[in-house]
Chains A and B, each alone.
Chain A
Amino acid sequence: MKQQAAVLGVGQTRHRSKRTDVSMAGLCREAADRAVADAGLTLADIDAVVVGKAPDLFEGVMMPELYLADALGAVGKPVLRVHTAGSVGGATGNVAASLVQAGVHGRVLALAFEKQSESNAMWALSIAPPFSIPVVAGAGGYFAPHIRAYIRRSGAPSHIGALVAVKDRRNGALNPYAHLQQGDITLEKVQASPMLWDPVRYDETCPSSDGACAVVIGDAAAAAAAPGPVAWIRATSMRSEPTMFAGKDHVNPAAGRECVAALWRQAGITDPINQIDVAEIYVPFSWYEPMWLENLGFAAAGEGWRLTEAGETAIGGKIPVNPSGGVLSSNPIGASGLLRFAESALQVMGKAGDHQVPGARVALGHAYGGGSQFFSMWVVASTPG
């Protein structure tokens, strides 16, 4: 019998390209302290910690949660370390939720981080293991051909990606934690920025950030004791498929479609665009907004770009996407998924500040990773449902 679980508190760091003022432990502690304070708790109230981050090669530390146990107040407690590629932040939230839903713990801290300035992510992503297809192009080079396939399939006009970038960067300027603060960015500036991986321009690409995010998840009793509003976890879902296989659809992956179908089923959602008030979606390259709108069922295949073009994904639109500024404004890779989950919770708690979507009651948090193959998602709401 699944127990109710809710987000009691959220914390994140000020994301920057280089947080030279803190160690990895200091970075993580900054987010953890803010999350437990937001929940009206201290680290001593936490029963277990779930740590998530992307490849250890990104910092050059093997299983850093071992060294972080002290900084996270986890000594004498259970610590789980999750790693599911770029989706890991979402998986971290879902695993923490499952510990509460299973009745194993009452209050769990989910924490995800990446301190990219400690190593070189491009190098880490470009190692060619034996018997594997070498990419040697980092993430942008890997995803650009799939974006081109999307444009060809959907007939989307070429400025859609730039529209997403303008919206997300302007949203990011409403979020004091966001890495990039570009409130005055324009379509012309984005379109004049250098082409990195055709059709992805510099301004349509996520930054490389140092940052951490933490979320406290508790059971019904902990939610009742919380000092402020909580975000009830209505559904969680994860799906995986191989990087490559005969018939793989890289533009509209089956794993994403099946993941969200299970999510909507659990949450009782039959008409996503009308029942979801706001979505925090993992968009590391601008064009992934329309692509994921379709994969998630907010639009029919080939139609997602129309929502973007009509401004329906802006705050005040039919389905606001990434009011926080999203991955395009802050990208501490391992934390990026948990940031999506945390921002969706902030929205239904009514605590998103200047980037609050008015009246948001039901929200989607989404993350993906690997070669569009690992998906994790949740739906949070202002009431238990």
Chain B
Amino acid sequence: MTSDVAVVGFAQSPVAVRDDATTSGVEMLVPTIAEAFGACGLTKSDIGFWCSGSSDYLAGRAFSFVSAVDAIGAVPPTMESHVEMDGAWALYEAWVKVLTGDADIALAYGFGKSSGAELRRVMALQLDPYLVAPLWPDSVSVAALQARLGLEAGRWTEKDMAEVAARSRAAAASNPAAQVSGPVSAADLLARPYVAEPLRAHDCAPVGDGAAVVIIASAARARDLCERPAWITGFAHRIDSGALGARDLLSVPSAAGALASAGSGVPVEVAELHAPFTHQDILLREAMGLGDDVTVSPSGGALCGNPMFAAGLARIGSAAQAVMSGRAGRALGHATSGPALQQNLVCVLSGESS
């Protein structure tokens, strides 16, 4: 049943600190949606269901998604919904909608202007509002605690972390949407200063603005829209405890659980991981049992461009692109949300419908 839906289109805006884009997302979304439509030969009237992901806190206003409705041109009215989550979960809601038969073609989008304020301080407001958030432990510091635990447990070294950054930046050289890219040696990176010990700048995703769009279609329509659709063979997500002190920060049961539910039976060739910190790339590969035979984040991943609320959707889109282009037979896209990898989503894609 789950292979009845396929990704048929993907587009993302270049990730950058965008002075020309407001928090409404409209300026980043309009050209990105147009690009996705162009590749599939679709127009807005073909879309049966729209779903977006964004954050009011990132936008610094109530109802961040209200102006974004202008970008989709919702006249006449559209069947539409919104999640206060990364666009990857908007895609999940859209996938469910297509499974019910209420829509044949659905479009999910995510957008975020991460540079609108001091991102790491904004993200602190995701923590327990009574006992933790008032202390303002920012998101980089929380990730640093996790990295420190792993270093002390002998799970990784600072050199391992720098090598993840170097690998990601080299891969991102072929991704025009990347915010940072290019060859760099781990040794050079390790010579640079800490930003939140043991994290250096290269260990943290850059702050950037962007949008991503993924179009999915039912079996009846997918092959008309795309020469080689990326069939969704599994799609699942899980959440771990919100209490940092109650979690083992060196295991990611929600990522392992999501993968198990989405179907880990057949190995993938490509995994696009949403790891905003280098040590989280290592943690996720371990949690999901991804071996050396899997190409991890050939787009450069979130470490080379992490537009909040769009980056997870962009990982799924990049994984789908690997399948649609024929570069991979099977690929997975991953998205994360919450402090220290609290919530995780996995979408498994295949060139063959089962």
Seen from chain A, the residues whose Cβ lies within 8 Å of a Cβ on chain B are 1-2, 23-24, 54-64, 66-70, 74-85, 91, 95, 98-99, 101-104, 118, 124-125, 127, 129-132, 238-243, 245, 254-255, 258-259, 370-371, 373-374
Contact = CB atoms under 8 A, between A and B. Distances in A.
A242 B75 contact: yes
A19 B22 CA distance: 37
Interface in B325-353: 337-339, 342-343
A368 to B, nearest CB: 12
A136 to B, nearest CB: 12
B89 interface: yes
24 contacts: A55-B56, A57-B56, A58-B62, A61-B126, A61-B129, A62-B56, A66-B342, A67-B126, A67-B128, A67-B242, A79-B239, A79-B343, A80-B83, A80-B89, A84-B81, A95-B93, A98-B102, A103-B1, A104-B99, A132-B24, A241-B76, A258-B76, A258-B77, A370-B66
Interface string B59-89: 1111101110110001111111111110001
Contacts of B60: 127, 129
A240 B67 CA distance: 12
Nearest to B345: A78
Contacts of B99: 102-104
Contacts of B66: 85, 243, 370-371, 373
Nearest to A78: B237
Contacts of B50: 240
Contact of B75 (A80, A82, A85, A241): A241
B61 A240 contact: no
Contacts of B59: 129
B78 A240 contact: yes
B23 interface: yes
A78 B238 contact: yes
B45 interface: no
B96 A62 contact: no
A62 B24 contact: no
Interface of B: 1, 22-24, 50, 55-57, 59-63, 65-67, 69-70, 74-85, 89, 92-93, 96-97, 99-102, 122-123, 125-130, 133, 236-243, 246, 253-254, 257, 337-339, 342-343
> Which 8 residue pairs spanning A and B have beta carbons closest together?
A55-B62, A102-B99, A255-B77, A240-B80, A62-B125, A62-B57, A83-B84, A67-B242
A104 B74 CA distance: 29
Contact of A70 (B62, B75, B102, B241): B241
B78 A241 contact: yes
Given A66-B342, A76-B238, A127-B61, A238 B22 contact: no
B62 A125 contact: yes
A371 B66 CA distance: 9
A101 B100 contact: yes
Nearest to B93: A95
Given A55-B56, A132-B24, A245 B75 contact: yes
A241 B337 CA distance: 29
A78 B85 contact: no
A69 B122 contact: no
B74 A241 contact: yes
Given A63-B84, A63-B338, A70-B242, 16 more contacts: A2-B102, A66-B239, A68-B242, A69-B242, A70-B241, A77-B239, A79-B237, A81-B84, A82-B83, A99-B96, A240-B50, A240-B69, A241-B77, A242-B70, A242-B74, A243-B66
Contacts of B83: 80-83
A314 B212 CA distance: 49
Contact of B236 (A56, A78, A129, A239): A78
Contacts of A81: 83-85, 89
Contacts of B89: 80-81
Contacts of A91: 81
B56 A85 contact: no
A241 B73 CA distance: 8
Nearest to B2: A104
Residue from A2, A83, A241, A243 whose CB has the most chain B CB atoms within 10 Å: A83
B43 to A, nearest CB: 18
A262 to B, nearest CB: 8
A342 to B, nearest CB: 19
Contact of A67 (B122, B129, B337): B129
Contacts of A243: 66, 69
A373 B13 CA distance: 28
Contacts of B62: 54-55, 57-58, 124-125, 127
Contact of A55 (B63, B78, B239): B63
Nearest to A1: B101
Most chain A beta carbons < 10 A, residue from B69, B82, B239: B239
Contacts of B253: 76
A83 B27 CA distance: 22
Contacts of B242: 66-70
B239 A59 contact: no
A64 B129 contact: yes
